[in-house]
Amino acid sequence: MLSVTFLGTSAARPTVERNVSALALVREGETLLFECGEGTQRQMMRYGVSFALSDIFFTHFHADHFLGVIGLIRTLGLQGREEPMRLYGPRGAKKLLGQAMQLGVERVPFPIEIQEVKPGDTVEGRGRGKGEEYDIDVFATDHGGGSVGYAIREHERLGRFDPEKARVAGIPEGPLWGKLQRGEAVVLPDGRKVVPEGIVGEKRKGRSVVFTGDTRPSAAVVDAAKGADLLIHEATFGEEEKDRAKETGHSTAREAAQVALAANAKRLVLSHVSARYSISAEELVKEAREVFKETVVAKDGMEIDIPFAD
Ligand SMILES: [Zn+2]
Ligand SMILES: [Zn+2]
């Protein structure tokens, strides 16, 4: 299972309908948090996101993307947490998050590791198989201050095993089937050698989710989002404020759609919308869909499943 839950979808400040940025990604029971705007812990409770998480990823350090980590860490401490927490962010993360960790508590009762990341890095060793299941690639975004985005990419899966063909080939059910599926040739009890081709299909693509954080439309984002199952792109403004989007380092809904189209992404979700679209963001959806049909705009509490394509 792979799904994302939007915990905050408002740009810059919260509104009655929307909190500031945060996104939970759940994969096979593991929860990852991307951004942690003020009030995120309450949104987690509200929308049923587990507090048993070990990793928070930050795209940049504007206040609406990270202030919530102070309260969340404090709550985790009160809950008696002992497991380490890892925080990832671009240049400056160590200093800023280090300071944030000291605010309002005497001592955080569990270890906190802060890791600075830069475009081109891959955060590995994650997931149940510790690095065998997926990677998180860090890419550059265009928002100033070394801002980055994150691409979660599952590794290829084994090809589909055809039990009928295996039986016809006279391969006894059992460990030999497993070997074949893992792509190894096997020797049968009668001495015959059987290769997986013809019994096991092609390796199947893993899924990918790409999260931009705040950014102007950018070629680096297009590259990172190539063929993504889900692209989560900021769309702070509509077309009528496209100059303002440019001045402030943000994107319009249409620009986000152009990125999705250029990247040949499967689906686009717009988030980080300006307060003026807090109640209705239909205008943004309309402008984006003229360019890229598979677009929705996020709202707080929205959950999206990402199924396998095959
Ligand atoms: Zn922002
Ligand atoms: Zn920002």
Region 292-309: what's the mean pLDDT? 96
Sequential DSSP letters for 182-236: TT--EE-TTS-EE-SBTTB---BPPPEEEE--S-B--HHHHHHTTT-SEEEEE--
Token pair for 256 = 């986000």
Q: Which amino acid is at 38?
A: E
pTM: 0.93
pLDDT tier for residue 132 given thresholds of 50, 70 and 90: confident
125 pLDDT higher than 70: no
CA dist 71 and 100 (Å) reads 10
Task: Specify whether 162 is catalytic.
Answer: no
- DSSP reduced 3-state for 291: coil
Average per-residue pLDDT for the chain: 95
Give distance in angstroms: CA of 158 to centre of ligand 1.
39
The two tokens of residue 140 are 């550059």
Q: How far apart are the C-alpha atoms of 206 and 190, rounded to whole Å?
A: 37
Q: How far, in Å, is the centroid of ligand 1 from the Cα of 20?
A: 8
Residue 22 Cα to ligand 1 midpoint, Å, equals 10
Buried b (16+ CB within 10 A) or exposed e, 167-178: eeeebeeeebbe
pLDDT value of position 309: 82
Q: Give yes or no for a contact between 117 and 90, defined as CB atoms under 8 angstroms apart.
A: yes
Q: Which ligand is nearest to the CA of 37?
A: 1
- Among 16-25, 72-81, 126-135, the range scoring the smallest mean pLDDT is 126-135
Which entry of 64, 137, 142, 229 is annotated as an active-site residue?
A: 64
Separation of alpha carbons 93 and 115, rounded Å = 7
Of all ligands present, the nearest one to the C-alpha of 12 is 1
* Residue 46: count of CB within 10 angstroms of its CB: 13
Q: Residue 96: CB partners within 8 Å, gap ≥ 6? A: 61, 66, 89
What pairing do the DSSP bridges indicate for beta strands 295-297 and 268-271? parallel
pLDDT at 131 over 80: no
Residue 215 has pLDDT above 90, yes or no: yes
Provide the pLDDT for residue 127: 65
What pLDDT does 130 receive? 61
The predicted pLDDT at position 129 comes to: 58
The tens digit of pLDDT for each residue in 148-188 reads: 999 999 999 889 999 999 999 899 999 999 999 989 999 99
Q: Reduce the DSSP state of residue 30 to 3 states and report it.
A: strand
From ligand 2's centre to the CA of 249, what distance in Å? Answer: 8
Q: What is the pLDDT of residue 260?
A: 98
pLDDT digit string, tens, across residues 22-48: 999 999 889 999 999 999 999 999 999
Contacts of 159 (CB under 8 A, 6+ apart): 181, 183, 196, 200, 201, 202, 203, 204
Q: What percent of the chain stands above pLDDT 90?
A: 89
Q: Which ligand is nearest to the CA of 11?
A: 1
Residue range 293-302: mean pLDDT, rounded: 98
Instruction: Note the pLDDT of residue 184.
Output: 92
Distance from the alpha carbon of residue 89 to the mean position of ligand 1, in angstroms: 15
5-25 tens-digit pLDDT: 999 999 999 999 999 999 999
pLDDT band at 70 (very low <50, low <70, confident <90, very high): very high
